[in-house]
Amino acid sequence: MAEEKRTAAPDQMPVPVDESHILATYANFCRVTGTPEELIVDFGLNKQVGGNSPETIQLTQRIIVNFFTAKRLAAALVMAVQRHEQAFGMLETDVQKRVVPQTKA
């Protein structure tokens, strides 16, 4: 597979990256806003499992990118999700369709 990538784009070289200061944070919520020049993506943790009174979601990370980077990110995310679905099956994003009703015994 690595050979296929080299033949598909011979002029692209891998970009060296330094991961020594990377910080990993889990998020199950995101909000996308922006301006005409840039896209702002905020990430946070939604602790609420269910119920009627929503808790405030504390946003913990903000990524600001230009629209060229946003488009490349969108393409990379689509490709990653497609690979995951090919390996493990379709992902249902509607929570109501994923919930299995409890049967009373």
105 inside domain: no
Scanning the structure block, which residue is given the tokens 């990377």?
Answer: 22
User: Is there a contact between 57 and 29 (Cβ–Cβ < 8 Å)?
Assistant: yes
CA 49/CA 39 separation, integer angstroms: 29
Q: Return the higher-pLDDT residue of 79 and 52.
A: 79
User: Is there a contact between 60 and 43 (Cβ–Cβ < 8 Å)?
Assistant: yes
7 inside domain: no
3 inside domain: no
Q: Single out the residue of 56, 12, 63, 32 nearest to residue 2, CA to CA.
A: 12
The sign of the CA dihedral 44, 25, 81, 38 is positive
Q: How many domains are contained in the chain?
A: 1
74 inside domain: yes
Q: Return the higher-pLDDT residue of 4 and 33.
A: 33
CA 76/CA 70 separation, integer angstroms: 10
Q: Which domain holds residue 34?
A: 26-98
Lookup: tokens for 40:
């702002």
Average pLDDT over residues 52-74: 91
Band of residue 11 on the pLDDT scale cut at 50, 70, 90: confident
Average pLDDT over residues 67-93: 96
Query: Whole-prediction pTM value?
Result: 0.70
The pLDDT score that the predictor gives to residue 10 is 62
